[in-house]
Structure 1
Protein backbone atom coordinates (compact mmCIF):
# COMPACT_ATOMS: atom_id res chain seq x y z
CA UNK A 1 0.00 0.00 0.00
CA UNK A 2 1.50 3.34 -0.95
CA UNK A 3 1.18 6.55 1.01
CA UNK A 4 -1.70 7.95 -1.11
CA UNK A 5 -3.91 4.91 -0.29
CA UNK A 6 -3.64 5.35 3.47
CA UNK A 7 -6.63 6.84 5.28
CA UNK A 8 -6.30 8.88 8.43
CA UNK A 9 -7.61 7.21 11.58
CA UNK A 10 -10.04 10.04 12.44
CA UNK A 11 -11.46 10.04 8.92
CA UNK A 12 -11.92 6.26 9.04
CA UNK A 13 -13.72 6.41 12.40
CA UNK A 14 -15.95 9.25 11.23
CA UNK A 15 -16.92 7.28 8.09
CA UNK A 16 -17.52 4.16 10.15
CA UNK A 17 -19.78 6.07 12.56
CA UNK A 18 -21.95 7.47 9.78
CA UNK A 19 -22.23 4.11 8.01
CA UNK A 20 -22.95 2.32 11.30
CA UNK A 21 -25.73 4.75 12.19
CA UNK A 22 -27.28 4.34 8.73
CA UNK A 23 -27.11 0.54 9.04
CA UNK A 24 -28.76 0.66 12.48
CA UNK A 25 -31.55 2.90 11.14
CA UNK A 26 -32.26 0.47 8.29
CA UNK A 27 -32.06 -2.52 10.65
CA UNK A 28 -34.54 -1.05 13.13
CA UNK A 29 -37.12 -0.10 10.50
CA UNK A 30 -38.01 -3.79 10.16
CA UNK A 31 -41.04 -4.02 12.48
CA UNK A 32 -40.59 -7.71 13.12
CA UNK A 33 -37.07 -7.43 14.50
CA UNK A 34 -37.28 -8.18 18.19
CA UNK A 35 -34.15 -6.28 19.17
CA UNK A 36 -35.75 -3.02 18.01
CA UNK A 37 -39.10 -3.53 19.71
CA UNK A 38 -40.07 -2.37 23.17
CA UNK A 39 -42.60 -3.22 25.82
CA UNK A 40 -45.36 -1.38 23.98
CA UNK A 41 -45.98 -4.72 22.24
CA UNK A 42 -47.40 -5.95 25.56
CA UNK A 43 -51.00 -4.89 25.33
CA UNK A 44 -53.69 -5.91 27.78
CA UNK A 45 -57.10 -6.99 26.57
CA UNK A 46 -60.28 -5.07 27.42
CA UNK A 47 -60.25 -6.44 30.98
CA UNK A 48 -56.61 -5.41 31.57
CA UNK A 49 -55.29 -8.96 31.31
CA UNK A 50 -51.92 -9.56 29.68
CA UNK A 51 -52.14 -13.31 29.95
CA UNK A 52 -54.71 -15.79 31.21
CA UNK A 53 -53.93 -19.49 31.36
CA UNK A 54 -55.68 -22.59 32.64
CA UNK A 55 -53.13 -24.31 34.89
CA UNK A 56 -54.59 -27.72 33.95
CA UNK A 57 -53.99 -27.16 30.20
CA UNK A 58 -51.09 -28.73 28.29
CA UNK A 59 -49.76 -25.24 27.53
CA UNK A 60 -49.26 -24.74 31.27
CA UNK A 61 -47.51 -28.08 31.86
CA UNK A 62 -44.07 -26.47 32.46
CA UNK A 63 -45.66 -24.58 35.37
CA UNK A 64 -46.44 -27.80 37.24
CA UNK A 65 -42.91 -27.92 38.64
CA UNK A 66 -40.94 -25.31 40.58
CA UNK A 67 -38.48 -23.70 38.17
CA UNK A 68 -40.71 -24.26 35.14
CA UNK A 69 -41.70 -21.31 32.98
CA UNK A 70 -43.54 -20.34 29.82
CA UNK A 71 -43.17 -17.38 27.46
CA UNK A 72 -46.41 -16.14 25.98
CA UNK A 73 -47.78 -12.74 24.87
CA UNK A 74 -44.38 -11.10 25.59
CA UNK A 75 -44.60 -12.26 29.22
CA UNK A 76 -42.37 -14.76 31.02
CA UNK A 77 -44.39 -16.63 33.66
CA UNK A 78 -42.40 -18.77 36.10
CA UNK A 79 -43.27 -21.02 39.01
CA UNK A 80 -40.81 -19.87 41.66
CA UNK A 81 -42.08 -21.99 44.58
CA UNK A 82 -44.84 -24.47 45.35
CA UNK A 83 -47.20 -21.56 46.02
CA UNK A 84 -45.82 -18.63 44.02
CA UNK A 85 -45.70 -17.59 40.36
CA UNK A 86 -43.88 -14.51 39.03
CA UNK A 87 -44.48 -12.81 35.68
CA UNK A 88 -42.07 -10.38 34.02
CA UNK A 89 -41.67 -8.79 30.62
CA UNK A 90 -39.92 -10.93 28.02
CA UNK A 91 -38.05 -7.82 26.85
CA UNK A 92 -34.65 -7.24 28.45
CA UNK A 93 -33.89 -3.72 29.60
CA UNK A 94 -30.26 -3.99 28.43
CA UNK A 95 -30.87 -3.91 24.67
CA UNK A 96 -34.58 -4.55 24.27
CA UNK A 97 -34.25 -8.13 23.11
CA UNK A 98 -37.06 -10.58 23.86
CA UNK A 99 -34.80 -13.23 25.32
CA UNK A 100 -35.67 -13.37 29.02
CA UNK A 101 -35.99 -16.85 30.50
CA UNK A 102 -36.15 -18.28 34.03
CA UNK A 103 -33.32 -20.40 35.40
CA UNK A 104 -31.69 -21.03 38.78
CA UNK A 105 -34.43 -19.07 40.56
CA UNK A 106 -33.74 -15.88 38.59
CA UNK A 107 -34.64 -14.28 35.27
CA UNK A 108 -31.86 -14.30 32.70
CA UNK A 109 -31.36 -12.73 29.28
CA UNK A 110 -29.67 -15.11 26.88
CA UNK A 111 -28.46 -12.26 24.63
CA UNK A 112 -25.90 -10.63 26.93
CA UNK A 113 -26.25 -12.31 30.32
CA UNK A 114 -28.36 -9.74 32.15
CA UNK A 115 -29.67 -11.24 35.41
CA UNK A 116 -32.75 -10.14 37.40
CA UNK A 117 -34.20 -11.36 40.67
CA UNK A 118 -37.86 -12.24 41.21
CA UNK A 119 -38.63 -8.60 42.01
CA UNK A 120 -37.19 -7.51 38.63
CA UNK A 121 -34.10 -5.90 40.18
CA UNK A 122 -30.94 -6.24 38.11
CA UNK A 123 -28.22 -8.39 39.60
CA UNK A 124 -25.32 -7.45 37.29
CA UNK A 125 -24.20 -4.51 35.14
CA UNK A 126 -26.22 -5.59 32.07
CA UNK A 127 -29.35 -5.91 34.21
CA UNK A 128 -28.89 -2.71 36.22
CA UNK A 129 -32.02 -1.07 34.73
CA UNK A 130 -34.26 -3.91 36.00
CA UNK A 131 -37.30 -5.37 34.27
CA UNK A 132 -41.05 -4.93 34.61
CA UNK A 133 -42.81 -7.35 36.98
CA UNK A 134 -46.53 -7.95 36.54
CA UNK A 135 -49.27 -8.86 39.00
CA UNK A 136 -50.23 -12.54 39.12
CA UNK A 137 -53.52 -13.81 40.54
CA UNK A 138 -55.07 -17.26 40.70
CA UNK A 139 -58.73 -18.16 40.87
CA UNK A 140 -59.36 -21.90 40.83
CA UNK A 141 -57.30 -23.27 37.95
CA UNK A 142 -57.07 -19.93 36.13
CA UNK A 143 -53.92 -17.86 36.46
CA UNK A 144 -54.13 -14.24 35.29
CA UNK A 145 -51.33 -11.74 34.66
CA UNK A 146 -52.17 -8.02 34.73
CA UNK A 147 -50.29 -4.74 34.88
Structure 2
Protein backbone atom coordinates (compact mmCIF):
# COMPACT_ATOMS: atom_id res chain seq x y z
CA UNK A 1 0.00 0.00 0.00
CA UNK A 2 1.49 3.36 -1.03
CA UNK A 3 1.18 6.05 1.65
CA UNK A 4 3.01 8.79 -0.17
CA UNK A 5 1.24 12.07 -0.14
CA UNK A 6 1.33 14.75 -2.74
CA UNK A 7 1.60 18.22 -1.21
CA UNK A 8 1.05 21.41 -3.08
CA UNK A 9 2.51 24.40 -1.37
CA UNK A 10 0.28 27.45 -1.47
CA UNK A 11 0.81 30.68 0.37
CA UNK A 12 -1.41 31.93 3.17
CA UNK A 13 -3.20 34.43 0.93
CA UNK A 14 -4.18 31.73 -1.59
CA UNK A 15 -5.30 29.40 1.19
CA UNK A 16 -7.53 32.03 2.83
CA UNK A 17 -9.05 32.94 -0.54
CA UNK A 18 -9.94 29.26 -1.12
CA UNK A 19 -11.83 29.41 2.20
CA UNK A 20 -13.82 32.38 0.94
CA UNK A 21 -12.00 35.19 2.69
CA UNK A 22 -11.76 38.31 0.55
CA UNK A 23 -11.73 42.08 0.89
CA UNK A 24 -12.36 43.35 4.42
CA UNK A 25 -12.65 39.83 5.86
CA UNK A 26 -9.22 38.96 4.46
CA UNK A 27 -7.75 42.16 5.90
CA UNK A 28 -9.28 41.34 9.30
CA UNK A 29 -7.58 37.94 9.27
CA UNK A 30 -4.22 39.46 8.34
CA UNK A 31 -4.29 42.33 10.81
CA UNK A 32 -6.51 40.94 13.55
CA UNK A 33 -3.59 39.82 15.64
CA UNK A 34 -2.05 43.27 15.52
CA UNK A 35 -5.02 45.42 16.51
CA UNK A 36 -5.47 46.60 20.07
CA UNK A 37 -8.73 47.33 21.78
CA UNK A 38 -9.50 50.77 23.12
CA UNK A 39 -9.28 49.81 26.77
CA UNK A 40 -7.08 51.02 29.54
CA UNK A 41 -5.57 47.55 30.10
CA UNK A 42 -2.20 48.61 28.67
CA UNK A 43 -1.55 51.15 31.40
CA UNK A 44 1.90 50.86 32.86
CA UNK A 45 2.12 49.53 36.42
CA UNK A 46 1.07 51.92 39.15
CA UNK A 47 3.86 53.71 40.97
CA UNK A 48 4.68 52.77 44.52
CA UNK A 49 6.08 55.71 46.44
CA UNK A 50 7.53 57.57 43.49
CA UNK A 51 9.14 60.69 44.94
CA UNK A 52 9.94 63.98 43.28
CA UNK A 53 12.18 66.61 44.84
CA UNK A 54 10.60 69.91 43.84
CA UNK A 55 13.90 71.72 44.48
CA UNK A 56 15.80 69.58 41.93
CA UNK A 57 16.57 71.43 38.67
CA UNK A 58 15.02 68.68 36.51
CA UNK A 59 11.67 69.30 38.24
CA UNK A 60 11.66 73.10 37.88
CA UNK A 61 8.61 72.96 35.57
CA UNK A 62 6.56 71.95 38.63
CA UNK A 63 7.09 75.39 40.17
CA UNK A 64 4.79 76.92 37.56
CA UNK A 65 1.03 76.37 37.28
CA UNK A 66 0.46 74.29 34.14
CA UNK A 67 3.99 72.88 34.17
CA UNK A 68 4.72 69.15 34.13
CA UNK A 69 7.45 66.52 34.16
CA UNK A 70 7.48 62.83 33.21
CA UNK A 71 9.12 60.34 35.54
CA UNK A 72 8.95 56.53 35.53
CA UNK A 73 5.88 56.39 33.27
CA UNK A 74 3.99 59.05 35.24
CA UNK A 75 3.03 62.57 34.16
CA UNK A 76 3.32 64.85 37.18
CA UNK A 77 1.82 68.31 36.82
CA UNK A 78 0.95 71.45 38.72
CA UNK A 79 -2.61 72.44 37.83
CA UNK A 80 -3.76 75.99 37.18
CA UNK A 81 -5.24 75.92 40.69
CA UNK A 82 -1.76 75.17 42.08
CA UNK A 83 -2.37 71.57 43.18
CA UNK A 84 -0.12 68.69 42.20
CA UNK A 85 -1.65 65.92 40.10
CA UNK A 86 -0.30 62.79 38.47
CA UNK A 87 -1.49 60.38 35.77
CA UNK A 88 -0.19 57.52 33.68
CA UNK A 89 1.90 58.34 30.63
CA UNK A 90 -0.07 55.73 28.65
CA UNK A 91 -3.07 56.96 26.65
CA UNK A 92 -6.14 54.75 26.82
CA UNK A 93 -7.05 55.48 23.20
CA UNK A 94 -4.27 53.48 21.54
CA UNK A 95 -1.78 52.82 24.30
CA UNK A 96 0.72 55.44 23.18
CA UNK A 97 3.11 56.64 25.90
CA UNK A 98 2.65 60.29 25.01
CA UNK A 99 0.38 61.87 27.63
CA UNK A 100 1.37 65.44 28.47
CA UNK A 101 -0.21 68.22 30.48
CA UNK A 102 -1.65 71.33 28.85
CA UNK A 103 -2.29 73.97 31.53
CA UNK A 104 -5.63 72.51 32.70
CA UNK A 105 -5.93 68.96 31.30
CA UNK A 106 -4.00 65.87 30.27
CA UNK A 107 -3.58 65.47 26.51
CA UNK A 108 -2.26 62.88 24.05
CA UNK A 109 -0.90 64.46 20.86
CA UNK A 110 -1.09 61.17 18.91
CA UNK A 111 -4.83 61.46 18.22
CA UNK A 112 -6.01 64.37 20.35
CA UNK A 113 -7.35 62.48 23.38
CA UNK A 114 -8.12 64.84 26.28
CA UNK A 115 -8.62 64.03 29.96
CA UNK A 116 -9.55 66.23 32.90
CA UNK A 117 -7.48 66.40 36.08
CA UNK A 118 -9.36 63.41 37.52
CA UNK A 119 -8.62 61.24 34.46
CA UNK A 120 -12.11 61.47 32.96
CA UNK A 121 -12.19 61.63 29.15
CA UNK A 122 -13.17 64.96 27.64
CA UNK A 123 -13.66 63.84 24.04
CA UNK A 124 -14.39 60.67 22.05
CA UNK A 125 -10.70 59.72 21.81
CA UNK A 126 -10.35 59.97 25.58
CA UNK A 127 -13.66 58.32 26.46
CA UNK A 128 -11.97 55.44 28.34
CA UNK A 129 -10.22 57.84 30.72
CA UNK A 130 -6.74 57.48 32.14
CA UNK A 131 -5.46 56.35 35.49
CA UNK A 132 -4.61 59.09 37.96
CA UNK A 133 -2.57 58.75 41.11
CA UNK A 134 -2.47 60.40 44.50
CA UNK A 135 0.05 63.22 44.87
CA UNK A 136 1.05 64.09 48.44
CA UNK A 137 3.29 67.03 49.30
CA UNK A 138 5.51 67.03 52.40
CA UNK A 139 7.93 69.94 52.47
CA UNK A 140 9.63 69.98 49.08
CA UNK A 141 9.05 66.24 48.40
CA UNK A 142 6.08 65.18 46.29
CA UNK A 143 5.13 61.50 46.67
CA UNK A 144 3.05 59.75 43.99
CA UNK A 145 1.13 56.59 44.98
CA UNK A 146 -1.53 54.44 43.37
The TM-score bracket by the shorter chain reads 0.7 to 0.9
Match runs of 1:32-71 below 5 Å? 38-39=42-43, 41-44=44-47, 48-49=48-49, 51-71=50-70
Counterpart contact for 1:42–1:73, Cα < 8 Å: no
Residue 11 in structure 1 maps to residue 22 in structure 2: yes
Gap regions ≥5 residues in structure 2: 1-16
Q: Secondary structure at the match of 2:107?
A: strand
Q: Give the aligned CA root-mean-square deviation in angstroms.
A: 2.2
**Normalized against structure 2, the TM-score is what?**
0.75
CA distance in 1, matches of 2:81, 2:64: 8
Distance 1:11 1:130 in 2: 36
How far does residue 114 in structure 1 lie from its aligned partner after superposition? 0.7
Q: Secondary structure at the match of 1:17?
A: helix
Q: Aligned pairs, how many?
A: 123
SS at match of 1:121: coil
Structure 2 residue 87 is the aligned partner of structure 1 residue 120: no
Aligned 8 A contact 2:68 2:101 in 1:
yes
Please report how far the alpha carbon of residue 43 of structure 1 lies from its aligned counterpart in structure 2 after TM superposition.
4.5
Residue 91, structure 1, aligned to residue 94, structure 2? no
Q: Any unmatched runs of 5+ in structure 1?
A: 1-6, 29-36
